[in-house]
Amino acid sequence: MAERTEERTRERSTGVDLDALSELDEGDRHSDAPTEADGRLDRLRGRLGSIFSLRSFLFGLIATVVGAVAFGLVIPFFGSVAALGGVFAVAFAFGALGGQRRYLELGLAGAATAALGTLTEFLVVTLVGGSQLLVVFGAGSGLLAALAGHYFGRDLRSGMTREV
């Protein structure tokens, strides 16, 4: 209570009209205040940020490409299947080691990696034409491999961290 009394005495002793100052402050606030559209945009960014993380997608894309190339080189004669194994392994590691669900990011990264691998492996068919079905099949198989890998990795993490 002593502080409030002290504030009142300061207001009186300054000789400044506090009501006029508060009106000026309110006018300044309204000019910088976010509009309704800004509020909606912020809410949309917040929702989108909780659903999709660009950083996780880019990291997942790089990791799946490296995993696909590494598995494709290590396992001879089974390049495409080995590359899908690499996508699965990377997504499994993300699920087992990560604390958050990243199905969307890893699914898109796996699909993009497999589609790119399909285009480069069947380069002649791609250049001649008629490669749309191959790319769709490759992207779909990469998507499934990434989603399954992430699911099983999260399942392993859940089983290892849960009390018996």
Segment 116-126, tens digit of pLDDT: 998 888 888 77
- Mark whether 41 and 96 lie in a shared domain: no
User: Looking at the domain assignment, is residue 136 inside a domain?
Assistant: yes
Within-domain flag for 94: yes
Both 40 and 104 in a single domain?
no
The verdict on 140 and 78 lying in the same domain is yes
> Which domain does 44 fall in, by range?
17-51
Residues 95 and 122 in one domain: yes
Closest CA to 92 of 146, 51, 130, 143: 146
Domain check: are 112 and 154 in the same one? yes
Task: Decide if 1 is inside a domain.
Answer: no
| Beta carbons of 139 and 114 less than 8 angstroms apart | yes
Q: Is residue 154 part of a domain?
A: yes
- The answer to whether residue 2 is domain-embedded is no
* 32 and 89 fall within a common domain: no
pLDDT, tens digit, 9 for 90 and up, residues 28-83: 444 555 566 677 777 766 666 677 888 889 999 999 999 999 998 888 888 888 99
For the cut 50, the answer to whether the pLDDT of residue 21 exceeds it is no
How many domains does the chain contain in total?
Answer: 2
This prediction's pTM: 0.67
Helix locations, the chain, DSSP H:
2-14, 18-32, 36-51, 54-74, 79-97, 103-121, 123-128, 132-161
Q: Are residues 83 and 150 in the same domain?
A: yes
What pLDDT shows up at residue 85? Answer: 93
Q: What is the pLDDT of residue 104?
A: 92
Give the span between the Cα atoms of 106 and 90, in whole angstroms.
9
Q: Based on the domain organization, do 63 and 111 belong to the same domain?
A: yes
Q: Is residue 135 exposed (0-12), middle (13-18) or buried (19+ Cβ within 10 Å)?
A: middle
Are the beta carbons of 118 and 135 closer than 8 angstroms? Answer: yes
